[in-house]
Structure 1
């Protein structure tokens, strides 16, 4: 048996300045869906998320609360981990930048870059944005403010170490040109190419004005600044440079770094140049997704205009929230969040197209055949179109997932459920039931819908991992794991003699009048 192909996917590591909001949840749910999909289709998957815990902002916030930085981050990071459990996230590891396994790797890389002359000491003066933890030259400011977040910057002077990013600019450009899939979508790639061509400055990689960070190994009054520290997590979590580096050897380079569009630059310029300088392979792809916006604009922990995913999970259920996030975000573009849109999506796609189809089918099989479906007769009339769509949808979904077009992949699955609903209208099983000579045809129609539902449930499992556990017992195949796999998506595998049960609605309709109620 040949060894499985590997797939390594990462989220950004989140900054514990406050609890996470629905926008962060999107990134992690999307990465989880990709990881689960690859696992379903036969890959050996490694999925990493974590927390980025150092820096001036954390040190200041902890001091304001009378806590040590570690006490402050421990509580918030526990909240991150709780949220991921509630969202059914299947990460294999959670890396914290305060862990020793991470610190060792960061210091090792910093030392290597210094030893080979790629890091040097100099005086620094420039404009600094504390919320973004980024230095800016005068020319990059917009109306005197940070070009990323629009907030005021402060002028700082200090002795720092610098990384010779400018030395690698041409090589980085060539890599982007030679590997068109490296930065996706194309709009982000074009932005990064323009940024590099406008001139790369050397990067400040140490600070002395605060001490909450990893010390520079040969100059401990400096702490290693955020980008070298945070970005290294993707290999420190694999044990790069450690005595046991099996995970690094097996999974690096990463197949996908999934990040929000605001941090694409750090992942497609700073991180790959650091790896180039260290003589390490570059990640295969960085995908920069859009933002989940409110009508009032971008969600921001510091502005306080955030939507708490835990409240929504409690109200609507985890599968419905995951479905909404994945279906609503178009590839590469922004999406707008509102509770009205969430309820509309749940009612339209999940309650009507999927849940109602399932409930009707189980009810009719029980009413007409006491729950028992036999093997179907030869297809006729509208059967062919439904069967052909069911057969072709797995390939469509796989192609879309390989292009990271998650919303379109989810839409293709729901399209199959919608087609099965239309098929019921076309074949009118309630009319067939009135004719004793059409019992065989009635059985075939209901079999076809049940099989289409099995296909849809298998394909939907990476996106709504709680769904199969509710569907399989009602579909009568709870104890038939071989029918839950990607390989089982060959039409007609649902065995004759299967007994379907009636149950509670999978996705009850939500009354829009209840919006806003706790």
Structure 2
């Protein structure tokens, strides 16, 4: 008897004939030729802030790394534009919802373009392709018998854009919005989501790393076990109350609930239902979200996919919150932190580095300008920047501004070469495990090892002693080779600075043709005689904000 399976990806994603509950052999071990990374589509009720920026930077770093690893990579981001909140915000400004959505969506897209975010598709839920994909899914699920029409009475939160249960409220107020819900009685269409809770629980049990880190997988397991207000999902709104949405294909008097609509962007953005590459792209899809939208992505979305007889995503990767001055970011507190302002003040690479280095993926983290400045000065200016400056200044002074021909390497040189190989391997391991802060730690161990080596060899002293010219050349050759490895490994994380390092050692554009991790581990790839340039300080030291006060 053939049994329906919903594997996250792999060759047997439709009707698997496996007799056990194991995933098909080699699913996790097989090399991934297609890699798709998605951010949530950002709701157009706020302009880009530190929370949006962190998610987008993580996705951009992953996309850049996988491109360098040789994977067919697709990076999807965009904006979510329907629903009560947008209609309310537009009405408050006296404009049509579409004009309101156009303005804010345009700000998101232009911001990411200004910051050189390497997305392949920016999707909007008002795009015709998205509307078509949503209506296609609705039609499929409706024809399957998984949507029915009911009357419902309950407490509705406009902020959440859904009916609440007692679990969702504290002292009569919505937990998330601290706002009293409205009592509403409506006739609506419901997705029979509860039909799929058993299959979802089996999926979570069979694939413990499907939602990661583990704490969030455990949260979804608990939601299913305890109920947590989970039941069938109301997926429509009557046009008499809200007409800003996608019309149901089987009832022109209703529009689609914003979450059911929004989640389908992940398929539409990859070309579903009839684009030429959507199945290959979807087979390697990784979702990246913040923990506040775990339930829609960890429960609603996989149930929707099962109902539509579609394969599940490869992984759901969930990160924590950024708190600003130890308070959760919010418009009312005015602590949103603009990425463009950070770029203007500190450079976007410095801001990228801080966000990626200071958040342990999955946990909350805190942002202060003092912490940012401390990290820039310690890691980027004093450590990395100092290594680049010392190496290239001495190469210019003692070797005619060219990579020198080395003498016979000794144990100290081998230590640096070994450190480069270990860094390349660990970065690859950490990136694939969604541990980007650990990947950066590995790169900076190579920076530390190279700085230590430079101090041990002290070429500025050796250059003053007759007969030690070969030792000086070998030392600076070794440092230039290490900078090549460091530049390649850093290129997904801080692309502008990494490009500057490679350019200064005569390897301009190497990141466009290199393959990670192998090319970062390889040695002796810079030819002797290659011209080098000193350049300005890679990351100038910054005075503490307190010092400026």
Q: Same fold (TM over 0.5)?
A: yes
In structure 1, the partner of 2:399 is: 369
Return the offset for 1:484. Answer: 4.9
Which residue, 519, 527, 531 being the options, matches 1:495?
527
2:351 equivalent in structure 1: 321
Question: In structure 1, what is the Cα distance between the partners aligned to 2:512 and 2:336?
Answer: 43
User: Following the alignment from structure 2 to structure 1, what is the Cα–Cα distance between the partners of residues 507 and 282?
Assistant: 38
The alignment status of 1:434 with 2:468, answered yes or no, reads no
Which residues of 2 match residues 24-173 of structure 1 at below 5 A?
A: 24-173=52-201
Q: Root-mean-square deviation (CA), in Å?
A: 1.8
Query: Alpha-carbon deviations, 1:378-427, whole Å to 9, x = none?
Result: 32242222221111111100000010101111121122112211111111
Q: For structure 2, which runs of at least 5 residues remain unmatched after alignment?
A: 1-30
What is the CA-CA distance between 1:111 and the residue it aligns to? Answer: 1.6
Counterpart position of 2:218: 190
Please give the residue correspondences for 1:184-223 in structure 2 after superposition, counting only pairs within 5 Å. 184-199=212-227, 200-208=230-238, 209-223=241-255
Report the Cα distance in structure 2 between the residues aligned to 1:316 and 1:324, rounded to whole angstroms.
11
Deviations 1:330-389 (A, max 9, x none): 121111001111111111111111111101111111111221332322322422222211
What TM-score comes out, normalization by structure 2 length?
0.90
Give a deviation string over 1:88-145, Cα, whole Å, max 9, x none. Answer: 2111001100111111111111122112111111112222222222321234423222
Cα distance, 1:128–1:483 mapped onto 2, change above 3 Å = closer
Question: Secondary structure of 1:311's match?
Answer: helix
Partner of 2:299: 269
1: distance between equivalents of 2:433 and 2:415?
Answer: 26
Is the Cα contact below 8 Å between 2:487 and 2:499 reproduced in 1? no
Q: Partners in 1 of 2:429 and 2:130 — Cα distance?
A: 36
* Distance in 2 between residues matched to 1:431 and 1:451, nearest whole Å: 21
> Is 1:255 the equivalent of 2:285?
yes
Displacement of 1:513 in angstroms is 4.6
Following TM superposition, by how much is the alpha carbon of 1:321 offset from its aligned partner in structure 2, in angstroms? 1.3
Aligned-partner SS, 1:35: helix
- The partner residue of 1:21 within 16, 33, 49 is 49
Tell me how far 1:71 sits from its aligned partner: 0.5
Distance 1:406 1:480, change over 3 A: closer
| Matching residue within 386, 396, 415 for 1:385 | 415
CA-CA distance at 1:37 after TM superposition: 0.2
Q: Distance in 1 between matches of 2:159 and 2:510?
A: 52
- Counterpart of 1:460 (choices 490, 505, 514) is 490
Distance 2:112 2:512 in 1: 29
Q: Which residue of 1 aligns with 2:202?
A: 174
Q: Mean Cα displacement is larger for which, 181-190 or 480-489?
A: 480-489
- Which of 278-287 and 218-227 deviates more? 218-227
In the alignment of these two chains, the number of paired residues is 513
| 1:424 aligned residue | 454
Deviation string, structure 1 residues 206-257 (Cα, Å, up to 9, x no partner): 0122110001112112110012100000001122123xx2121221134310
Q: In structure 2, do the counterparts of structure 1 residues 182 and 4 end up closer, same or farther at CA, with 3 Å as the change threshold?
A: closer
Shift of 1:263: 0.5
C-alpha contact 1:420 1:452 (8 A) present in aligned 2: yes
Distance in 1, matches of 2:545 and 2:179, equals 39
1:164, 1:203 within 8 Å by CA — same for their partners in 2?
Answer: yes
Secondary structure of 1:258's counterpart equals strand
Structure 2 residue corresponding to 1:12, chosen from 32, 40, 45:
40
8 Å Cα contact 1:477/1:483 also seen in 2: no
Change (3 A) 1:388 1:140: same
Deviations 1:39-73 (A, max 9, x none): 00110101100100000110011011110001011
Matches within 5 A, 1:282-293: 282-293=312-323
Against the structure 1 CA distance between its residues 483 and 165, is the aligned structure 2 distance closer, same or farther, given a 3 Å change threshold? Answer: closer
Distance verdict in 2 for CA 1:139–1:290, change over 3 Å:
closer
Aligned equivalents of 1:516, 1:261: Cα separation in 2: 36
Q: TM-score, with normalisation over the residues of structure 1?
A: 0.95
Provide the rounded CA distance (Å) in 1 between the counterparts of 2:257 and 2:338: 30
The unaligned stretches of length 5 or more in structure 1 are none
Contact 1:169 1:196 in 2 (8 A): yes
Alignment of 1:271-420 (within 5 A): 271-420=301-450
Do 1:482 and 1:488's aligned partners in 2 also have CA atoms closer than 8 Å? no
Q: CA deviation at 1:306?
A: 1.2
1:57–1:131 Cα contact (<8 Å) kept: yes
- Cα distance in 2 for partners of 1:202, 1:469 equals 51
Question: Secondary structure of 2:73's partner?
Answer: strand
The structure-2 alpha-carbon separation of the partners of 1:482 and 1:173, relative to structure 1 and needing over 3 Å to count, comes to closer
Give the alignment of 1:227-242 within 5 angstroms: 227-242=259-274
